[in-house]
A and B are shown apart, each in its own frame.
Chain A
Amino acid sequence: MSYAVAAWIMVVGLYGVVTSRNLIHLIICLTVVQSSTYVVLLSVGYKTDGVPPVFYDVPPSPRAVDPVVQALTLTDIVVGTTVTALLLAVAVQAHKRFGTLDPEELRPLRG
Chain B
Amino acid sequence: MTAAVRRAVFLVFGAGLLALLLWSFGGLPDLGHYVGPYGDLVNALTIPERHSTDAVTTVNFDVRGFDTLGEDAILFAAVVGVAVLLRVLRDEHERPRPEEDASGRRIENTSSAIRLLGAGLVGPTIVLGLYIVAHGQLTPGGGFQGGVILATALLLVFLSDQYITLRRVGPMALIEAAEGVGVAGFALIGVAGLIWGSSYMENFLPLGTTGTLLSAGTIPLNSVAVGVAVTGGFAFMLSEFLEQTLVVRRE
Contacts and interface: CB of A to CB of B under 8 A. Distances in A.
Interface of A: 1-4, 6-8, 10-11, 14-15, 18-19, 21, 40, 43-48, 50, 52-56, 60, 62, 64-72, 74-76, 78-79, 82-83, 85-86, 88-90, 92-93, 96, 104
Interface in B202-239: 211, 230, 233-234, 237
10 contacts: A53-B42, A54-B54, A56-B211, A67-B56, A68-B64, A72-B67, A83-B74, A86-B85, A89-B86, A90-B85
B60 interface: yes
Contacts of B139: 54, 56
A62 B82 contact: no
Contacts of A96: 89, 250
Interface in B37-68: 38-40, 42-44, 46-47, 53-60, 63-64, 67-68
Given A46-B32, A55-B46, A82-B233, A75 B60 contact: yes
B43 to A, nearest CB: 5
A48 B33 contact: yes
Contact of B144 (A2, A75, A86): A75
B138 interface: yes
A54 B139 CA distance: 7
Given A74-B144, A79-B78, 15 more contacts: A4-B25, A6-B25, A14-B10, A55-B55, A72-B64, A72-B67, A74-B56, A74-B60, A75-B67, A79-B74, A85-B82, A86-B78, A89-B240, A92-B85, A92-B86
A56 B138 contact: yes
Chain A contact surface mostly: helix
Contacts of A50: 32
A11 B18 contact: yes
Interface in B86-104: 86, 89
B55 A53 contact: yes
B69 to A, nearest CB: 11
B31 interface: yes
B89 to A, nearest CB: 8
A78 B46 CA distance: 24
Given A75-B68, A79-B71, A47 B32 contact: yes
Contact of B64 (A10, A18, A56, A71): A71
Given A54-B54, A68-B64, A92-B244, A45 B7 contact: no
A60 to B, nearest CB: 6
A79 B148 CA distance: 11
